[in-house]
Amino acid sequence: MIGKGGFGSVYLANLKKPKSKYGCFPAIMAVKSAEVSVSGSIQKEREVLSNIGQCPYIIRCFGDEITMGLNGEMVFNLLLEYGSGGTLADLIKKSGGSGLLESDVRYYTRSILRGLIHIHDCGYVHCDLKPENILIVSKTTGTATKLRVKIGDFGLAKRATQNKKRKLDPYLRGTPMYLSPEAVVDNIQEPPSDIWALGCIVLEMLTGKPPWDGKQDLGAEVFLQQIGESHESPKVPSTISKEGKEFLKGCFARKSMYRLTAEMLLNHSFVEGLADDDDDDDDDGEVEDEVGLSLMLYETDNECIYSDSSFSDDCSFVSDDEFFLSSWSEEEDEINSAEFSSFAKEKKLEG
């Protein structure tokens, strides 16, 4: 085990014999695992990834399998594309608080937007966009190595509401720092909520600091009140380009109806004029039937067997030092709305 969170554990699986009949799989994959009885978040992620299908800007899913653990418990395993370059949060941290080059921010932002358009077109809302959930995948072609950011961690994703009668969730999905005003006040999370979170990510990339810098040490309820009640948006420094400011303005409209959509933002001057990378959209080639192939991966024919914490002859787990994929925690991301019921009630009374 090399990563652990509220959802379960993360392993790094290494295909030792890439020329075997399982060579259609990447040499290295990330495997999320949890006992079946507590694997709801991972199974939810599997369902969402199956429904939205393949997109070059979303972490790929190569299938799932239920195996028998060493202690006899049933384990649910989800095979995912490995973010060998770490996460966007790692990249921002390396900037030492100065932020990334705006040219890089524009490039990463365009990729995230393309992933968001696909997610929203499929009728889903991610609900937990943040730098920790944006993974960096590297691809080497000849002597050149390209980096592409991809959206990952769909454990909190939900269907977008199709009618005007919205059914409120019993809890807030996501991370407080990236929650939109309507999510805090009304527990409403629709595509515009993802756009607000995108704005927070872009601001964090540009500044190297959290979107609500200086307010993250407030108590949780006070901090959420700040997001929900005030007329403020995250502060945009004057050093950011005019295009960057206008882009963020479109993300940070406090009323969701005035927020720009992902399609609108993709046509914004902030992300226009960049060299295109659509020529390498098929990063790893096609995996025809991901469910069937994932089941084949675990066949007990001495080709490749997964059991609890190890692969056999063809597959093995990589050591902790070689692991770059961030672990996620449901416990950190899901916020019980009951903790902030007093805020919600006060807000409705005022209205």
Total count of residues recorded for the chain: 351
**Pairwise CA distance, residues 9 & 49, whole Å:** 19
**Pairwise CA distance, residues 64 & 78, whole Å:** 4
- Which tokens hold the place of 238? 């004057």
Among 249, 218, 220, which Cα is nearest to 236's? Answer: 249
Angle value at C-alpha 118, between 76 and 289, nearest 5 degrees: 45
Token look-up 């993802």 returns 194
| Catalytic-role residue among 64, 104, 121, 128 | 128
Among 111, 62, 45, 125, which Cα is nearest to 286's? Answer: 62
128 carries an active-site annotation: yes
**Pairwise CA distance, residues 244 & 265, whole Å:** 11
Rounded to 10 deg, the angle between the 220-229 and 341-350 helix axes is 30
- Annotated binding-site residues for ATP read 32
Hey, which residues are catalytic here? Answer: 128
